[in-house]
Protein backbone atom coordinates (compact mmCIF):
# COMPACT_ATOMS: atom_id res chain seq x y z
CA UNK A 1 0.00 0.00 0.00
CA UNK A 2 1.28 3.41 -0.85
CA UNK A 3 1.84 5.79 2.02
CA UNK A 4 -0.61 8.69 2.46
CA UNK A 5 1.07 11.87 1.28
CA UNK A 6 0.40 14.94 3.46
CA UNK A 7 -1.49 16.53 0.62
CA UNK A 8 -3.68 13.57 -0.21
CA UNK A 9 -7.40 14.20 -0.49
CA UNK A 10 -7.93 12.15 2.67
CA UNK A 11 -5.88 14.55 4.74
CA UNK A 12 -7.82 17.59 3.48
CA UNK A 13 -10.64 18.62 5.77
CA UNK A 14 -13.76 20.64 4.99
CA UNK A 15 -14.77 20.78 8.66
CA UNK A 16 -16.09 24.09 9.86
CA UNK A 17 -17.40 25.32 13.19
CA UNK A 18 -20.75 27.04 13.46
CA UNK A 19 -23.18 27.55 16.38
CA UNK A 20 -20.48 26.00 18.57
CA UNK A 21 -20.61 22.69 16.68
CA UNK A 22 -18.07 21.08 14.41
CA UNK A 23 -19.72 20.50 11.03
CA UNK A 24 -18.18 17.78 8.90
CA UNK A 25 -18.71 19.55 5.60
CA UNK A 26 -18.95 23.33 5.21
CA UNK A 27 -21.33 23.10 2.26
CA UNK A 28 -25.10 22.72 2.54
CA UNK A 29 -28.41 23.67 0.99
CA UNK A 30 -29.82 27.17 0.79
CA UNK A 31 -33.23 27.58 2.41
CA UNK A 32 -35.87 26.93 -0.23
CA UNK A 33 -33.81 24.52 -2.32
CA UNK A 34 -35.22 20.97 -2.10
CA UNK A 35 -36.05 21.26 1.61
CA UNK A 36 -39.84 21.64 1.87
CA UNK A 37 -41.16 18.08 2.23
CA UNK A 38 -40.34 15.23 4.60
CA UNK A 39 -38.72 13.32 1.73
CA UNK A 40 -36.59 16.27 0.68
CA UNK A 41 -35.36 16.80 4.24
CA UNK A 42 -34.42 13.11 4.50
CA UNK A 43 -32.65 13.32 1.14
CA UNK A 44 -30.53 16.14 2.56
CA UNK A 45 -29.86 13.99 5.62
CA UNK A 46 -28.65 11.13 3.44
CA UNK A 47 -26.57 13.37 1.18
CA UNK A 48 -23.18 14.98 1.81
CA UNK A 49 -24.89 18.26 2.79
CA UNK A 50 -23.20 19.44 6.00
CA UNK A 51 -26.47 20.66 7.51
CA UNK A 52 -30.18 20.09 6.89
CA UNK A 53 -31.74 23.53 6.42
CA UNK A 54 -35.52 23.73 6.05
CA UNK A 55 -37.70 25.76 3.72
CA UNK A 56 -38.68 29.11 5.24
CA UNK A 57 -41.75 28.45 7.32
CA UNK A 58 -44.76 30.49 8.35
CA UNK A 59 -47.30 30.05 11.15
CA UNK A 60 -49.75 28.15 8.93
CA UNK A 61 -49.06 25.92 5.92
CA UNK A 62 -49.18 27.78 2.59
CA UNK A 63 -49.84 26.73 -1.00
CA UNK A 64 -47.69 29.57 -2.29
CA UNK A 65 -47.96 31.45 -5.57
CA UNK A 66 -49.54 30.23 -8.83
CA UNK A 67 -47.46 28.14 -11.25
CA UNK A 68 -45.16 28.47 -13.09
CA UNK A 69 -43.19 30.05 -10.24
CA UNK A 70 -39.65 28.77 -10.90
CA UNK A 71 -37.68 28.99 -14.13
CA UNK A 72 -34.31 27.84 -15.30
CA UNK A 73 -33.24 27.16 -18.87
CA UNK A 74 -30.30 25.71 -20.75
CA UNK A 75 -30.54 28.84 -22.90
CA UNK A 76 -29.47 30.87 -19.86
CA UNK A 77 -27.69 28.46 -17.51
CA UNK A 78 -26.30 31.35 -15.45
CA UNK A 79 -29.60 32.52 -13.97
CA UNK A 80 -32.78 31.29 -12.33
CA UNK A 81 -35.90 33.08 -11.14
CA UNK A 82 -38.28 31.95 -8.40
CA UNK A 83 -41.41 33.21 -6.78
CA UNK A 84 -42.59 30.32 -4.68
CA UNK A 85 -44.47 32.63 -2.34
CA UNK A 86 -43.49 30.79 0.83
CA UNK A 87 -45.14 27.50 -0.04
CA UNK A 88 -44.40 25.48 3.10
CA UNK A 89 -45.97 23.06 5.57
CA UNK A 90 -46.15 25.42 8.55
CA UNK A 91 -43.70 25.73 11.44
CA UNK A 92 -45.20 22.85 13.45
CA UNK A 93 -44.23 20.39 10.74
CA UNK A 94 -40.64 21.65 10.59
CA UNK A 95 -40.44 21.59 14.40
CA UNK A 96 -41.62 17.97 14.52
CA UNK A 97 -39.15 16.96 11.82
CA UNK A 98 -36.36 17.99 14.21
CA UNK A 99 -36.84 14.90 16.37
CA UNK A 100 -36.79 12.52 13.38
CA UNK A 101 -33.86 14.13 11.62
CA UNK A 102 -31.71 14.43 14.74
CA UNK A 103 -32.33 10.76 15.53
CA UNK A 104 -31.33 9.63 12.04
CA UNK A 105 -28.55 11.94 10.90
CA UNK A 106 -25.44 13.14 12.60
CA UNK A 107 -25.64 16.71 11.35
CA UNK A 108 -27.32 19.90 12.54
CA UNK A 109 -30.89 20.77 11.57
CA UNK A 110 -31.59 24.46 11.05
CA UNK A 111 -35.10 25.81 10.55
CA UNK A 112 -35.60 28.85 8.33
CA UNK A 113 -38.34 31.10 9.70
CA UNK A 114 -40.17 33.69 7.64
CA UNK A 115 -43.28 34.75 9.54
CA UNK A 116 -45.67 37.13 7.80
CA UNK A 117 -45.58 39.62 10.70
CA UNK A 118 -43.39 40.48 13.68
CA UNK A 119 -45.87 38.74 15.93
CA UNK A 120 -45.77 35.56 13.81
CA UNK A 121 -41.97 35.56 13.84
CA UNK A 122 -41.87 35.94 17.63
CA UNK A 123 -44.41 33.16 18.15
CA UNK A 124 -42.69 30.77 15.75
CA UNK A 125 -39.27 31.42 17.27
CA UNK A 126 -40.67 30.79 20.77
CA UNK A 127 -42.34 27.55 19.71
CA UNK A 128 -39.25 26.21 17.94
CA UNK A 129 -36.95 26.51 20.95
CA UNK A 130 -35.29 23.14 21.55
CA UNK A 131 -36.63 21.65 18.30
CA UNK A 132 -33.61 22.39 16.08
CA UNK A 133 -29.94 23.27 16.37
CA UNK A 134 -30.46 26.83 15.11
CA UNK A 135 -32.96 29.15 13.47
CA UNK A 136 -32.20 31.15 10.33
CA UNK A 137 -34.58 34.11 10.55
CA UNK A 138 -35.37 35.30 7.05
CA UNK A 139 -35.26 39.09 6.66
CA UNK A 140 -35.37 38.95 2.90
CA UNK A 141 -38.20 37.03 1.21
CA UNK A 142 -39.07 39.07 -1.90
CA UNK A 143 -42.05 37.08 -3.09
CA UNK A 144 -45.06 37.70 -0.89
CA UNK A 145 -47.34 40.35 -2.33
CA UNK A 146 -47.71 43.30 0.02
CA UNK A 147 -44.82 42.23 2.31
CA UNK A 148 -41.63 44.21 1.75
CA UNK A 149 -38.25 42.72 2.56
CA UNK A 150 -37.65 43.70 6.18
CA UNK A 151 -33.87 43.72 5.72
CA UNK A 152 -34.19 46.82 3.53
CA UNK A 153 -35.94 48.69 6.36
CA UNK A 154 -33.27 49.40 8.96
CA UNK A 155 -35.64 50.68 11.66
CA UNK A 156 -37.94 47.68 11.23
CA UNK A 157 -34.95 45.30 11.43
CA UNK A 158 -33.74 46.99 14.63
CA UNK A 159 -37.22 46.74 16.09
CA UNK A 160 -37.65 43.08 15.14
CA UNK A 161 -34.28 42.10 16.62
CA UNK A 162 -34.98 44.06 19.83
CA UNK A 163 -38.14 42.01 20.22
CA UNK A 164 -36.59 38.66 19.23
CA UNK A 165 -33.76 39.04 21.72
CA UNK A 166 -36.26 39.96 24.45
CA UNK A 167 -37.93 36.52 24.19
CA UNK A 168 -37.25 35.15 27.68
CA UNK A 169 -36.99 31.49 26.61
CA UNK A 170 -34.62 32.18 23.67
CA UNK A 171 -31.72 29.73 23.83
CA UNK A 172 -31.53 28.28 20.32
CA UNK A 173 -28.78 29.96 18.26
CA UNK A 174 -30.16 32.51 15.82
CA UNK A 175 -28.90 33.52 12.39
CA UNK A 176 -30.26 35.97 9.83
CA UNK A 177 -30.82 35.55 6.08
CA UNK A 178 -29.92 38.87 4.51
CA UNK A 179 -31.02 40.50 1.29
CA UNK A 180 -28.24 41.72 -1.01
CA UNK A 181 -26.97 45.25 -0.34
CA UNK A 182 -25.32 47.41 -2.97
CA UNK A 183 -24.13 50.51 -1.15
CA UNK A 184 -21.33 50.68 1.39
CA UNK A 185 -23.34 52.88 3.77
CA UNK A 186 -25.95 50.14 3.93
CA UNK A 187 -23.32 47.61 5.04
CA UNK A 188 -22.24 50.10 7.74
CA UNK A 189 -25.78 50.69 8.98
CA UNK A 190 -26.84 47.05 8.96
CA UNK A 191 -23.61 45.85 10.59
CA UNK A 192 -24.13 48.41 13.38
CA UNK A 193 -27.54 46.90 14.06
CA UNK A 194 -26.40 43.26 13.90
CA UNK A 195 -23.40 43.87 16.17
CA UNK A 196 -25.76 44.88 19.01
CA UNK A 197 -27.11 41.33 19.36
CA UNK A 198 -25.76 37.85 20.19
CA UNK A 199 -26.47 36.69 16.65
CA UNK A 200 -24.69 33.44 15.71
CA UNK A 201 -24.45 33.94 11.96
CA UNK A 202 -25.76 35.81 8.97
CA UNK A 203 -26.29 34.28 5.55
CA UNK A 204 -25.44 36.47 2.54
CA UNK A 205 -27.34 36.62 0.24
CA UNK A 206 -30.93 35.88 -0.58
CA UNK A 207 -31.90 36.10 -4.24
CA UNK A 208 -31.88 39.48 -6.02
CA UNK A 209 -35.48 40.45 -5.43
CA UNK A 210 -37.99 41.46 -8.06
CA UNK A 211 -35.94 40.68 -11.14
CA UNK A 212 -37.69 40.12 -14.46
CA UNK A 213 -36.71 37.47 -17.01
CA UNK A 214 -38.45 37.80 -20.36
CA UNK A 215 -38.97 35.17 -23.03
CA UNK A 216 -38.63 37.32 -26.17
CA UNK A 217 -40.08 34.66 -28.46
CA UNK A 218 -43.28 34.41 -26.45
CA UNK A 219 -43.10 38.11 -25.47
CA UNK A 220 -43.95 37.07 -21.91
CA UNK A 221 -42.34 36.87 -18.53
CA UNK A 222 -41.14 33.33 -17.71
CA UNK A 223 -43.01 33.01 -14.38
CA UNK A 224 -46.57 33.90 -13.47
CA UNK A 225 -46.64 35.52 -10.00
CA UNK A 226 -46.26 39.28 -9.57
CA UNK A 227 -46.37 39.87 -13.33
CA UNK A 228 -43.16 37.91 -13.70
CA UNK A 229 -41.14 39.51 -10.90
CA UNK A 230 -39.15 37.11 -8.75
CA UNK A 231 -35.89 36.40 -6.96
CA UNK A 232 -32.90 36.00 -9.27
CA UNK A 233 -30.35 33.31 -8.46
CA UNK A 234 -27.60 31.42 -10.24
CA UNK A 235 -24.10 32.36 -11.34
CA UNK A 236 -24.96 35.96 -12.18
CA UNK A 237 -25.51 36.81 -8.51
CA UNK A 238 -22.08 35.56 -7.39
CA UNK A 239 -20.22 38.91 -7.51
CA UNK A 240 -22.93 40.53 -5.38
CA UNK A 241 -22.89 37.58 -2.96
CA UNK A 242 -19.10 37.71 -2.62
CA UNK A 243 -19.18 41.46 -1.99
CA UNK A 244 -21.82 41.02 0.71
CA UNK A 245 -19.83 38.25 2.42
CA UNK A 246 -16.64 40.34 2.23
CA UNK A 247 -18.24 43.59 3.42
CA UNK A 248 -20.08 42.04 6.35
CA UNK A 249 -17.07 39.96 7.40
CA UNK A 250 -15.05 43.19 7.61
CA UNK A 251 -17.70 44.94 9.72
CA UNK A 252 -19.14 42.28 12.05
CA UNK A 253 -17.63 41.24 15.34
CA UNK A 254 -15.67 38.02 15.05
CA UNK A 255 -18.22 35.98 17.03
CA UNK A 256 -20.74 36.36 14.21
CA UNK A 257 -20.12 33.95 11.34
CA UNK A 258 -20.94 34.87 7.76
CA UNK A 259 -22.32 32.11 5.55
CA UNK A 260 -21.94 32.63 1.80
CA UNK A 261 -24.85 31.92 -0.54
CA UNK A 262 -25.14 32.93 -4.17
CA UNK A 263 -23.85 31.61 -7.46
CA UNK A 264 -22.28 28.44 -6.11
CA UNK A 265 -22.00 25.76 -8.80
CA UNK A 266 -18.44 24.47 -8.43
CA UNK A 267 -15.59 23.99 -6.00
CA UNK A 268 -14.06 27.23 -7.28
CA UNK A 269 -17.19 29.16 -6.28
CA UNK A 270 -17.00 27.76 -2.75
CA UNK A 271 -13.29 28.58 -2.65
CA UNK A 272 -14.02 32.22 -3.56
CA UNK A 273 -16.74 32.57 -0.90
CA UNK A 274 -14.40 31.25 1.77
CA UNK A 275 -11.58 33.50 0.57
CA UNK A 276 -14.01 36.43 0.97
CA UNK A 277 -14.55 35.36 4.59
CA UNK A 278 -17.36 32.79 4.61
CA UNK A 279 -17.44 30.22 7.41
CA UNK A 280 -19.58 27.94 5.24
CA UNK A 281 -21.35 28.05 1.92
CA UNK A 282 -24.89 27.26 0.78
CA UNK A 283 -26.04 25.99 -2.60
CA UNK A 284 -29.40 27.06 -4.04
CA UNK A 285 -30.08 27.06 -7.80
CA UNK A 286 -27.45 24.44 -8.56
CA UNK A 287 -28.94 22.07 -5.98
CA UNK A 288 -32.37 22.45 -7.57
CA UNK A 289 -30.91 21.72 -11.02
CA UNK A 290 -28.51 18.90 -10.12
CA UNK A 291 -30.01 17.29 -7.04
CA UNK A 292 -28.26 16.40 -3.79
CA UNK A 293 -25.36 14.67 -5.56
CA UNK A 294 -24.00 18.20 -6.15
CA UNK A 295 -22.62 18.23 -2.61
CA UNK A 296 -20.29 15.30 -3.19
CA UNK A 297 -19.12 16.71 -6.54
CA UNK A 298 -18.51 20.23 -5.20
CA UNK A 299 -16.64 18.87 -2.18
CA UNK A 300 -14.43 16.79 -4.43
CA UNK A 301 -13.69 19.79 -6.61
CA UNK A 302 -12.89 21.97 -3.61
CA UNK A 303 -10.58 19.32 -2.14
CA UNK A 304 -8.74 19.09 -5.45
CA UNK A 305 -8.26 22.88 -5.54
CA UNK A 306 -6.99 22.80 -1.94
CA UNK A 307 -4.66 19.90 -2.76
CA UNK A 308 -3.11 21.79 -5.67
CA UNK A 309 -2.74 24.95 -3.58
CA UNK A 310 -1.32 23.07 -0.60
CA UNK A 311 -4.18 23.89 1.81
CA UNK A 312 -5.27 21.26 4.34
CA UNK A 313 -8.15 23.04 6.02
CA UNK A 314 -10.52 25.93 5.36
CA UNK A 315 -8.81 28.22 7.88
CA UNK A 316 -5.70 28.10 5.70
CA UNK A 317 -7.38 30.50 3.26
CA UNK A 318 -10.57 31.77 4.91
CA UNK A 319 -10.84 35.56 4.68
CA UNK A 320 -7.39 35.77 3.16
CA UNK A 321 -8.37 37.58 -0.02
CA UNK A 322 -5.35 39.63 -1.02
CA UNK A 323 -5.34 43.19 -2.27
CA UNK A 324 -3.82 43.90 -5.66
Annotated active-site positions, please? 140-141
Segment (H or E) for 296 = helix 293-309
Is 206 a residue that touches ligand DHB (CB under 6 A)?
A: yes
- Taking the C-alpha atoms of residue 88 and residue 70, their distance in angstroms, rounded to an integer, is 15
Nearer to ligand DHB by Cβ, of 180 and 267: the residue is 180
18 part of the interface to ligand DHB, by CB under 6 A: no
Site stretch for ligand DHB (CB under 6 A), options 84-92, 215-223, 237-245, 273-281: 84-92
CA distance 225 to 229: 7
114 near ligand DHB, judged by CB under 6 A? yes
HSE value, Cβ hemisphere, 13 Å, CA-based, for 100: 13
Q: Does 299 sit near ligand DHB (CB under 6 A)?
A: no
Is residue 86 within the footprint of ligand DHB (CB under 6 A)?
yes
Q: Does 29 bind ligand DHB (CB under 6 A)?
A: no
- The residue range among 90-98, 100-108, 135-143, 187-195 that interacts with ligand DHB, by the rule CB under 6 A, is 135-143
Q: Is 283 left (phi over 0), alpha (psi -120 to 50) or beta?
A: beta
Which of residues 121, 207, 244, 285 is near ligand DHB by CB under 6 A?
Answer: 207
- Which of 58, 143, 279, 299 is close enough to bind ligand DHB by CB under 6 A? 143
Choose one: 80-88, 95-103, 183-191, 262-270; the region binding ligand DHB (CB under 6 A). 80-88
Per-residue binding string, ligand DHB, 171-190, x by CB under 6 A, is: --------------------
Considering the complex, what minimum distance in angstroms separates the CB of residue 265 from ligand DHB? 18
Where are the extended beta strands (E) located within the chain?
Answer: 16-18, 21-23, 27-29, 52-53, 70-73, 76-82, 109-113, 134-138, 174-178, 201-204, 208-212, 214-215, 220-221, 229-233, 257-261, 280-283
Is residue 83 part of the contact set for ligand DHB (CB under 6 A)? yes
Phi, psi dihedral angles at 302 (to 5 degrees):
-65, -40
| Least separation in angstroms between CB 72 and ligand DHB | 15
54 binding ligand DHB? (CB under 6 A):
no
Nearer to ligand DHB, 150 or 242 (CB): 150
282 in contact with ligand DHB (CB under 6 A): no
Residue 120, CA atoms < 13 Å, CB-side half-sphere: 16
Asked whether 112 and 88 are in contact (CB, 8 A), the reply is no
> Which residue, 80 or 200, is less far from ligand DHB as judged by CB?
80
Q: Calculate the alpha carbon distances from 238 to 29, 146, 244, 297 in Å.
A: 16, 28, 10, 19
Distances (CA, A) of 197 to 34, 156, 157, 166, 255: 31, 15, 12, 11, 11
Please identify, among the stretches 10-18, 83-91, 101-109, 119-127, the one whose residues bind ligand DHB according to the rule CB under 6 A. Answer: 83-91
Question: Does 84 participate in binding ligand DHB (rule CB under 6 A)?
Answer: yes
**How far apart are the C-alpha atoms of 294 and 248, rounded to whole Å?**
27
- Only one of the segments 40-48, 85-93, 125-133, 285-293 lies at the binding site for ligand DHB (rule: CB under 6 A); that segment is 85-93
Q: Which residues of the shown chain bind ligand DHB in the complex (CB under 6 A)?
A: 32, 56, 82-87, 114, 138, 140-143, 206-207, 231
Amino acid sequence: MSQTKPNDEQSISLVTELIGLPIENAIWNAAGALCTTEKELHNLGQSQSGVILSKSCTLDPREGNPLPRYWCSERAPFMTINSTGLANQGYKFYGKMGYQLSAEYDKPYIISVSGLSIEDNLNIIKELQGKCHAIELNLSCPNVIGKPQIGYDFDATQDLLNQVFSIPELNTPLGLKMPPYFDLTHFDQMADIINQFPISFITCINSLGNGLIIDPIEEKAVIKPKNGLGGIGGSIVKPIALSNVYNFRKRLNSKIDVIGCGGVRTGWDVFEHILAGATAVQVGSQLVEEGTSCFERIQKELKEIMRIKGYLKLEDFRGKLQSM
